[in-house]
Amino acid sequence: MGKALYRKYRSKSLAEIVGQEHITDTLAKALKSGRISHAYLFSGPRGVGKTSIARILAHEINDLPYTDDSSHLDIIEIDAASNRRIDEIRDLRDKVYIAPTSGKYKVYIIDEVHMLTREAFNALLKTLEEPPAHAVFILATTEAHKLPDTIISRTQHYTFKPVERQKVIDHLGSIAKQENITITTDALDLLAAHGQGSFRDSISLLDQASGMEDAIDAPEIRRLLGIAPDSALDELIQAIHEQRPAGMIITITNDLYSQGLQAAAIASQLAEKLRAGLANNTPVLPVDISLRLMRELIEVPSSHNPERLLEIILLGSLDNAITPVATPTVRPAPAPKAAPVVAPSSPVAKANKPSPIAPPEAPPKIEPVKVAPQTPEPEPVSEPAASPIAAPPTKEQRAFNETVWPEVLNSIKKQYNTLYGVLRMANPIFQEDSIELQFKFAFHQKRLNEVKNRKIIADFIKEATGKDISVNCTYNKDATPAPNAAANVAATPAVAPALDSISDIFGGGEVLHS
């Protein structure tokens, strides 16, 4: 069985390490002068040389030759991911005082050290505080922020960085030449970009591509890695820019999914294309839209349903689209009948003013009401019933939309990101003990009107207000999100309404804070 390329071309000395010269030069000078620390910490991304340099350093401080098959009793490697308990560290602490067998130092390499438990860290700390003279510890981690400060402070900390893309391309080209692999420069560039600064990942991809019979070019690498064509990404961006029908977005994404492309990869490519446009001062979309999309696309890979979340994010950029996505046929409600409406100054008008929430319907027959002789009763005037959308929001609705609704959205986003992606496009219409959420797209209304989703929303509203509020989701093709509601998520409103205004809406009681 052949050896994997990343193992075959692993560096065997500090001089062979590529891309971490700021570390290898310092260590080489320390070795030359004999200044050996009792503990080192190597942190940085995966595949950039942390473990390789740890092994090289362990062999060089003991004047031992290093090969892939090297095995010495005085160099002990521990994987903290599978040996994270306090018992393993206690065993290490008991054996560390045993003198080395053949070398000058007994070297412990602890990989993924951030995986140790708190009790194990405490046991390791005691050893690092009072180590025997013959012991050297080399800790390696991809997540240094998870290490206690007490551990970090007792080590020499070296921070590794992703390898520059051109250095990765040159190194891959050198390996390809030695392995007689015919590959174009564009293809090498794609491998380096997909490796994200990791030598190990990039070399593994080259190893995978080497199985192709013909010369390897960029299109072959795209198919191998599941990278979406630039033309498809440009088409998505153009559809957003021109506010095309939402059905076009869904058609493009479905076509990409049918080719085996993953939503996480598509989101990553889109975000990178938007970022490149901003970095080069040639944004492909307006800056505010680019920034919002980049922020939301980051969350796609971690979603439990990345395909749907990606579509929701892209459709959310079509708020001003003229043609909505195709939806099930909705039978129009019967036209409201004209009814006599008394002028606003009359008590009768106040008593029979149509609710801005209720759907248009024929008002009940108005019975004559006796009024004081000095207030003449005006003649009935027929006019169409007020439209729920056209009616201006009340003081209570404005206070709810500007204060409570952003808080509810922010709380839901932290726990139910996919639900938040749809909910931020709702137009909330608040009443004393209920809220109607109007949606521009029928499939959004249908999704949010599920019992479990309405319960989640109601629970978060109760957490913010202290009241039980019934939630109802409706479809209205003219619905628009509440002004500034989504924009104010995780931000402090410029002017906060007085507490007595909130009390007017929700009644007395304790004011809850998040």
3-state secondary structure 412-459: HHHHCHHHHHHHCCCEEEECCCEEEEEECCHHHHHHHCCHHHHHHHHH
Given the structure tokens 């921070």, which residue do they identify? 159
**What stretches of 196-229 show up as alpha helix (H) in DSSP?**
199-209, 218-225
**pLDDT at position 61, please?**
92
Q: Given its phi and psi angles, is residue 170 left (phi above 0), alpha (psi -120 to 50 degrees) or beta? A: alpha
How far CA 33 is from CA of 36, 61, 149, in Å, comes to 9, 11, 29
**pLDDT at position 495, please?**
40
* Neighbouring-strand partners of residue 381: 341
CA angle 366, 369, 372 (to 5 degrees): 150
Q: Which of 416, 473, 409, 471 is nearest to 441 (CA)?
A: 473
Which pairs count as long-range contacts for 366-373, CB under 8 Å and 24+ apart, including other chains?
366/339, 366/340, 366/342, 371/346, 371/347
**pLDDT at position 295, please?**
92
Q: Could you say which residues of the chain have pLDDT below 50? A: 320-329, 341-358, 369-373, 375-390, 484, 486-487, 489-514
- Is 270 in contact with 256 (CB distance < 8 Å)? no
**pLDDT at position 337, please?**
55
Q: Which of 459, 471, 482, 478 is nearest to 399 (CA)?
A: 482
How far CA 28 is from CA of 32, 33, 34, 160, in Å, comes to 6, 9, 10, 16
Kindly report, residue by residue over 470-501, the tens digit of the pLDDT.
898 998 877 777 654 544 544 444 344 444 44
* Neighbouring-strand partners of residue 110: 78, 139
Q: State how far the Cα of 2 lies from the Cα of 455, in Å rounded to an integer.
A: 57
- Please name the helix (run of DSSP H) or strand (run of DSSP E) that holds residue 114, with its range, or none: none
State the greatest distance between any 2 C-alpha atoms of the chain, in Å, as a whole number.
116
- Looking at residue 213, its amino acid is E
**What stretches of 328-431 show up as alpha helix (H) in DSSP?**
347-351, 395-399, 405-415, 417-423
Q: Given its phi and psi angles, is residue 164 left (phi above 0), alpha (psi -120 to 50 degrees) or beta? A: beta
Tokens read off for 181 = 């692999």
In 27-147, where do the E strands start and end? 39-43, 75-79, 106-111, 135-141
Separation of first and last alpha carbons in the chain: 59
Given the structure tokens 């027959």, which residue do they identify? 365
366: number of Cβ within 10 Å: 15
**pLDDT at position 386, please?**
43
Given the structure tokens 């409600």, which residue do they identify? 333
464: number of Cβ within 10 Å: 22
Given the structure tokens 């820019």, which residue do they identify? 241
Q: State how far the Cα of 336 lies from the Cα of 115, in Å rounded to an integer.
A: 67
How far CA 506 is from CA of 99, 117, 257, 489, 514, in Å, comes to 73, 47, 47, 21, 17
178: CB partners within 8 A, 6+ apart: none
**pLDDT at position 424, please?**
82
234: number of Cβ within 10 Å: 12
The arrangement of strands across the sheet holding 106-111 comes to: 75-79, 106-111, 135-141, 39-43, 156-159
* Neighbouring-strand partners of residue 427: 438
- Looking at residue 369, its amino acid is V
